[in-house]
Amino acid sequence: MSQNVSTFLAGVRDTSPLLVGVVPFGLICGALFISVGMPEWGAAGMSLIVFAGASQLIAVQLMAEQASLFVVILTGLVINARMLMYSASLAPHFNGLHPAQKAGLSYLLTDQAYAMSITRFTELDGDSVDKPVYYLGAGLLMWAAFNAATIAGAYLGAFIPAEWNLDFAIPLTFTALVIPAVKDKPTLLAAVVAGGISFVANPLPYNLGLMVAAASGIAAGCVSERRLNND
């Protein structure tokens, strides 16, 4: 087995436990799209083109409420603004790639692919892993699983019993991402501050609470890390 294939499969293997949260989330998305009047092919197409679960959910809900196109687009951009932070974090690991290659990899950027990849990259020496190939394995697994689950939800959502409460998958997925990343006091403080602020700022319009919480968590973590370095 070639090194590239082995690295790609490592990305798939390391990310696969997160499917326990992604698959139910995709089912929810597909079922919701149909419940607001979107055809099955539309649900599948939106998932393939947009590929951003949380913003897709909010966008469809806003469209069902007759919100303006500007509000729908702005809300989606606000929710996905965290991807800018992910991209900035990953950029140094993808030096040397052609801009077209980076653009292709950016399409596969998700919370799960980012979390697993950045953890792997920081744990291993730069020469120990082909970083774009590892990320590709993680990203493609999430892409395939989420889109397959969305399509299944679109066609089978009406048959899924309401008592299953599949929405448990959303907090479960993010909990599984955060806990392994908390390895020192700065990251613990960042997680606690971000979690607390997100709860307090939840009533803010257009899901701005997410961005406020993210910025607050980053600031708290940076301040804590500087203090530790100065001690």
DSSP-derived secondary structure letter, 66: T
Do 105 and 135 form a contact (C-beta atoms < 8 A)? yes
> Two tokens at 222?
């940076």
Average pLDDT value for residue range 205-211:
69
Domain ranges of the chain: 3-180, 182-231
The one-letter amino acid at 125: D
* Cα–Cα nearest to 214, from 198, 226, 200, 225: 198
Task: List, for residues 103-145, the tens digit of each pLDDT value.
Answer: 999 999 988 899 889 888 877 655 556 899 999 999 999 999 9
Q: What is the mean pLDDT of the chain?
A: 81
The model carries a pTM of 0.74
- Angle between helix axes 19-35 and 131-156 (nearest 10 degrees) is 40
* pLDDT over 70 (residue 162): no
With 0-12 / 13-18 / 19 or more C-beta atoms within 10 angstroms meaning exposed / middle / buried, residue 183 is: exposed
pLDDT tens digits, 21-47: 788 888 888 887 887 788 888 888 888
Apex 58 CA angle, 156 and 217, nearest 5? 120
